[in-house]
Structure 1
Amino acid sequence: MSEKKKALIAMSGGVDSSVAAYLMTSKGYDCMGCTMRLYENDMIGEDLFGTCCSLNDTQDARSVCDKIGIDYNIYHYEAEFRDKVIEPFVCSYEMGETPNPCIRCNKYLKFDTLYQKGREMGYDVIVTGHYARIEERGGHFYLLKAKNLAKDQSYVLYDLTEEQLAHTAFPLGEYTKDEVREIADSQGFVTSHKKESQDICFVPDGDYAGMIKRYRGKDYPKGNFVDRDGNILGTHDGIIGYTIGQRRGLGIPAEKRLYVTKLDVPNNQVILGDNEDLFKRELTIRDFHWITGEKPTSEFRCLAKIRYRHKEQPCTVTPTSDGGALVVFDEPQRAATPGQSCVLYDGDIVLGGGIISNS
């Protein structure tokens, strides 16, 4: 009789990872659940109650593991999370960008630090509650969108490699959220009707600027709102508080709606303009990651999305010699934001992605 395969389940204390653990045990895997402790409250200046590192969440994760009869552990990765996620997050805002820390957390924590720990402990696969799919075709492993496109999270997973995909499982990729809750309810999990978190885990109140000020222990200098001709329109409260496409909270009396169209960090200016000024066809992408590891040698056609909730759009991609890419959309796209990721798709397959640069 062959030995059971082993699965290490990353559990946040929510319904998705709870059901992921249950599904893997149902498939006959020898499973262990674990929660990654990523930060202490003094790192973010917030009470941890209600965040993914709260005592309540770890208790809920442990309760689910007890219910399905698997072991559970907590692993401390506070230092790694500070260096790989929080510090780059803060630096990105200081550079006039709008980062996506979930992508870095997946890349450096779940599918690097935890992945390596799991492999060292003899686990065959790392499992998360992401809504995405992995398929092997012709000896290659591909990342695909979830069957339920409304919950698809493939966008935040584009930095995975084929080797990582070969030792990863996303058991929720075939399910809808309602189906996941029904499974949790049928098993009597305490997480079955738990509310989903909509904010970044270490910014539970959604106040990114406030978190950055607390983290750095300083305020950021006020500066000028200007129009595209350089005319001063008012005073902003610190450049870290603004992002491309923002309209609300500007406090500028005007006869027409104004939007943030650019952040000029060297001059500490926030440039405002019309909605039409937010549209562009060409994007420069840096740090491009190709999932197969094989960089294309010439331009090609595909679909691309420029933010998590963006509908992917047809474009032409030209790889560049510096490890980036030039993406030219068929139609202008609104509010392409430096710091966010541009992710490429061939149908359901994720080809890779990179970071949108200032231009």
Structure 2
Amino acid sequence: MTIDFGLDRLQGARIVVAMSGGVDSSVAAALAARTGAEVVGVTLQLYDHGEAVKRSGSCCAGQDIYDAAQVADRLGIAHYVLDYESRFRSGVIDRFAEEYAQGRTPIPCALCNQGVKFVDLIAFARELGADCLATGHYVRRTVRNGRAELHRGKDPRRDQSYFLYGTTRDQLDFLRFPLGDLPKDAVRELALEAGLAVAAKPDSQDICFVPDGDYASLVKKLRPETDVPGEIVDLEGRTLGEHRGVVHFTVGQRRGIEIGGSPEPLYVVRIEPDTRRLVVGPRSALAIQRMRVEELSWLGEDQRDVSVKVRSLAPAVSARIEDDGWVCFATPEYGVAPGQAAVFYDGTRVLGGGWIAETLAADPRVSCAAAA
């Protein structure tokens, strides 16, 4: 299989590939090597080897670095390992814990892509004189009227565009995504054809630096105050019970509230970190009409009527971008929480996105100008 890397020349070109040690980035490297260009693999060590070496389904440490080196050797390409542990800790892990301490719902994968995985990797690739940086993300890069655009991956089950909304125009000009048109099964077949030992390696978990998925233990270690008990109150402020620490809850959560006697299920509507209170209510209280989005990153044109995703696996819904960073949903949306990313689309094209800073509950007395 041949992939067009969008380079005017391949003989004499240099392609740097971000290699995490998983099957996706390994196949991206194999496809780059088939072009005849010089290929250089780069792996980031993002956290301590000892904490991750025995884990499967992680990335960027221990066994994964070894796997990336083995793939590079199999392909006959150069391979570098860069120690970015301190940058990753300050830019991603510490902010992850801080977001929970503030009662928000963090998206560390988007933070990582906006920081070390693109900013620092692209800088290193340019230092090597590379013509582009290729990654194993399931997104598509197309060029229309001389301008690069970012689109969803063709396979909706694998699409990772939600986590890449912060990609800048300058970065997109330099990036390549050779897997964007492929389903996962085809990627594993390519890995087998290339004789890569990682062909059957399990996919990495979403939060790579959290051992066994127990994010609460990590947050408690970094921010102990998040494990202090507090009150559970209803929408009117009446005390209903006690929780065991805000670290165990996010907006929209039902599990763990354990309040008896309620005529209907209760959900976390709001977290008040200063008082350590959980505000709970019926599902109807989770309906959101507007949200304020900050730190906006934009790839598209001046467009107000859009579709938007507020979670990676949620469907995109119609909305209108208003003034001062406010976004209005065409119909009330559920599962919208401060700290999450809001990513805007026009069809399959990623227009941009930002962080949800504030939400306003749906009010039947207030109309919304969003496109239906």
Q: TM-score range by the shorter chain?
A: over 0.9
Q: Which amino acid aligns with 1:155?
A: Y
* 2:274 aligned residue (229, 242, 266): 266
In the aligned structure 2, how far is the partner of 1:226 from the partner of 1:246? 15
SS in 1 for 2:358: coil
Higher mean C-alpha deviation, range 217-226 or range 165-174 = 217-226
**Secondary structure at 2:227's aligned position in 1?**
coil
Is the Cα–Cα contact under 8 Å of residues 199 and 205 in structure 1 kept in the other structure? no
Matches of 2:317 and 2:226, distance apart in 1: 39
**1:25 counterpart = 2:33:** yes
- 1:311 equivalenced with 2:312 (yes/no): no
Q: Give percent identity, aligned residues only.
A: 39
**Aligned length, in residue pairs:** 348
Partners in 2 of 1:87 and 1:97 — Cα distance? 14
- Deviation of 1:254 after TM superposition, in Å, equals 3.8
Cα shift at 1:30: 1.1
Moved more, 110-119 or 250-259: 250-259
Shift of 1:341: 0.5
Q: Which whole-Å deviations, capped at 9, do the CAs of 1:204-259 have from their partners, x for residues lacking one?
A: 32222211112346663210011101111111112122101111122333443111
What 5-or-longer segments of structure 1 have no aligned partner?
Answer: none
Q: Look up the match of 1:239.
A: 246
AA partner of residue 228 (structure 2): P
Letter in 2 for 1:200: I
TM-score by length of 2: 0.89
Offset of residue 114 of structure 1? 1.1
Q: 1:116 to 1:124 in 2, by over 3 A?
A: same
Aligned counterparts of 2:295 and 2:60: Cα–Cα separation in 1: 30
Cα distance, 1:37 vs structure 2: 0.3
Cα separation, partners in 2 of 1:59 and 1:288, compared to 1, 3 Å:
same
2:147 paired residue number: 140
In 2, Cα distance between equivalents of 1:57 and 1:126: 20
Range with bigger deviation, 300-309 or 242-251: 242-251
Post-superposition CA distance 1:255-294 (Å, at most 9, x none): 43111111012221001111111111211111111125x6
**Does the CA contact (< 8 Å) of 2:99 and 2:339 recur in 1?**
yes
| Matched AA of 1:310 | A
Tell me the secondary structure at the aligned position of residue 114 of structure 2. helix
**CA distance, structure 2, for counterparts of residue 230 and residue 70 of structure 1:** 62
**Secondary structure at the residue paired with 1:330?**
strand
Distance (Å, rounded) in 2 between the aligned partners of 1:229 and 1:278: 15
| Corresponding residue SS for 2:232 | strand
For residues 170 and 154 of structure 1, what CA distance do their matches in structure 2 show? 11
Task: Tell me, in whole angstroms, the C-alpha distance in 2 between the residues paired with 1:65 and 1:55.
Answer: 16
Q: Are the equivalent residues in 2 in contact too, given 1:34–1:75 (CA < 8 A)?
A: yes
Indicate conservation of the 8 Å contact 1:64/1:190, yes or no: yes
Instruction: Name the CA distance, whole Å, in 2 between partners of 1:337 and 1:352.
Output: 18
Say whether the 8 Å CA contact 1:220–1:237 is kept in structure 2. yes
1:86 to 87, 93, 102: 93
Given candidates 176, 193, 212, the residue that maps to 1:205 is 212
Residues 110-138 of structure 1: per-residue CA shift (max 9 Å, x gap): 11011101111111111111000111111
Q: TM-score, normalized by length of structure 1? A: 0.92
Give, as a single letter, the amino acid of the residue that structure 2 aligns with 1:330: A
Q: Where does residue 367 of structure 2 map in the other structure? A: none
Partner amino acid for 1:205? D
Q: How does 1:1-359 map to 2 (within 5 A)?
A: 3-40=11-48, 46-50=51-55, 51-216=58-223, 220-255=227-262, 256-292=264-300, 296=302, 300-320=304-324, 325-359=325-359
> Hey, what's the Cα distance between the residues in 2 that align with 1:141 and 1:355?
24
Question: Which digits, 9 at most, give the CA deviation of each residue in 1:295-346, with x for residues without a partner?
Answer: x3xx7211111110110001111242xxxx2111111111101100000001
What RMSD in Å do the two structures reach over aligned CA positions?
1.8
Compared with structure 1, are the counterparts of its residues 233 and 48 closer, same or farther at alpha carbon in structure 2 (3 Å cutoff)?
farther
Greater mean deviation of Cα atoms: 106-115 or 190-199: 190-199
Separation of aligned partners in 2, 1:184 and 1:214: 39
Which secondary structure does the structure 2 equivalent of 1:174 belong to? coil
1:53 alignment partner, SS class: coil
Give the Cα separation in 2 of the matches to 1:63 and 1:301. Answer: 48
CA contact (8 A) 2:15 2:132 kept: yes
What is the distance in 2 between the residues matched to 1:83 and 1:319? 32
Give secondary structure in 2 for the equivalent of 1:357: strand
The answer to whether the 8 A contact 2:226-2:246 is kept is: no
